[in-house]
Structure 1
Amino acid sequence: MPKINGNEIRPGYVLEHDGHLWAAVKVDHVKPGKGGAFAQVELKNLRTGSKLNERFRSEDKVERASLENRDMQFLYVDDGQMIFMDTESYEQIQLDAELLGDRRPFLQDGMTIVVEFFGDEALNARLPAKVICEIAETEPVVKGQTAAKSFKPAVLDNGVRVAVPPFVGQGERIVVNTDTMEYSERA
């Protein structure tokens, strides 16, 4: 694995630190009035999910791990395990449902996601940035309520609660941002 200086760390980098794999979530470059500059990095353990705040000076060397991204198509769920098929080799693999976390309800049949592998171990899964969902229930539209920038609660067909603009009604299809789990636009 290539070594990089502490001041070269960017959000999204995967680092091997203290014998574990960590993803850099947030990076702040600090130059205090006294002493040398450093990078304050918030790290997330890719295996356990725990977080760590670490300081790296510019002369510190850190190993940057390279992950292999593979496109995988979702097939079905079997005993809490999600079955995916590699779109290139057509090989089927099982992944734990916890890999997607709270974004799991947005996974739809036949959806292609990106799974990040370190060797043969799946560490992370990324859904498409936007997913189309249908509104299962929401409050009815009240005439004249669209003047103010307000939102009303809605439940999607997958059971997730989101806030939607007042003009969106039950049965309509909307685009939901899977990173923030918020309404994006009408479909």
Structure 2
Amino acid sequence: MPKINGNEIRMGNVLEHNGGLWVAVKIDHVKPGKGGAFAQVEMKNLRNGSKLNERFRSADKVERVRLEQKDQQFLYENDGMLVFMDNETFEQIELPADILGERRPLLQDSMIVTIEYHESEALNATLPLKVTCVVEETEPAVKGQTAANSFKPAVLDNGLRIMVPPFIDQGQSIVVHTETMEYSERA
């Protein structure tokens, strides 16, 4: 695995540090008036989700880890475990449902999900950027409420509650952005 200098750490890099795998979440480059510059890095543990703040000087060497990414198809959920299938080898794996966190309701049958592996251990799962959902319940549009920034609450077919523009009605399909968990466009 390649070693990089402390000032070469970028957001999203996966590092091996203190015997664990950490992803860099936030980085501030600090140049104090006295002493050398350093990078203040906020990291999140990929295995247990704990956070850590660490200072890295440019002379510090850090082990950078490359995760292998595989696109796998979601099959079903069984006792809190999500079952995915590799479309090339047809091998099935089970991952805990909390690997997706708050994005779990957006997972749909037969959806292709990118799973990141370190050696043979699955560490992270990423949904496609946009998902199509159906509006189950929302208030009717109020006549004259056409202001650009007005939104109304809606409940989607997966139970998720989001804000939608006033022109969206019950039964319509909409596209939801999976990173921000917000309305994106009509489907």
Q: TM-score, normalised by structure 1?
A: 0.97
Taking only aligned residues, the RMSD between alpha carbons, in angstroms, comes to 0.9
Give aligned pairs, total. Answer: 187
Matched position secondary structure for 1:104: helix
Structure-1 residue corresponding to 2:120: 120
Which amino acid in 2 is paired with 1:43? M
SS in 2 for 1:105: helix
Q: Distance in 1 between matches of 2:111 and 2:117?
A: 19
Equivalent residue for 2:108?
108
TM-score by length of 2: 0.97
Looking at structure 2, the residues matched to 148 and 120 of structure 1 have their Cα atoms a distance apart, in angstroms, of: 49
- The 5 A counterparts of 1:12-23 are 12-23=12-23
**Helix, strand or coil for the counterpart of 2:170?**
coil
| Aligned partner letter, 2:13 | Y
**CA distance, structure 1, for counterparts of residue 175 and residue 91 of structure 2:** 31
Separation in 1 of the partners of 2:128 and 2:147?
A: 33
Where does residue 62 of structure 1 map in the other structure? 62
Superposed displacement of residue 89, structure 1: 1.2
Deviation at 1:33, TM superposition (A): 2.1
- Please list the CA deviations of residues 53-74 of structure 1 after superposition, one character each: whole Å capped at 9, or x if unmatched: 1111111110001111011000
In percent, how many aligned pairs have the same letter? 71
Of the structure 1 ranges 25-34 and 48-57, higher mean CA displacement relative to structure 2 is found in 25-34
Matches within 5 A, 1:18-167: 18-167=18-167
Aligned mates of 1:185, 1:104 — CA distance in 2: 21
2:79 and 2:38 map into 1 onto residues whose CA distance is: 47
Cα distance, 1:147 vs structure 2: 2.4
- One-letter amino acid matched to 1:104: R
For structure 2, which runs of at least 5 residues remain unmatched after alignment? none
Which residue is equivalent to 2:173?
173
Instruction: Report the 3-state secondary structure (helix = DSSP H, G, I; strand = E; otherwise coil) of the residue aligned with 2:179.
Output: coil
Unmatched 5+ residue regions in structure 1? none
Instruction: Write the distance in 2 (CA, Å) between the matches of 1:148 and 1:96.
Output: 41
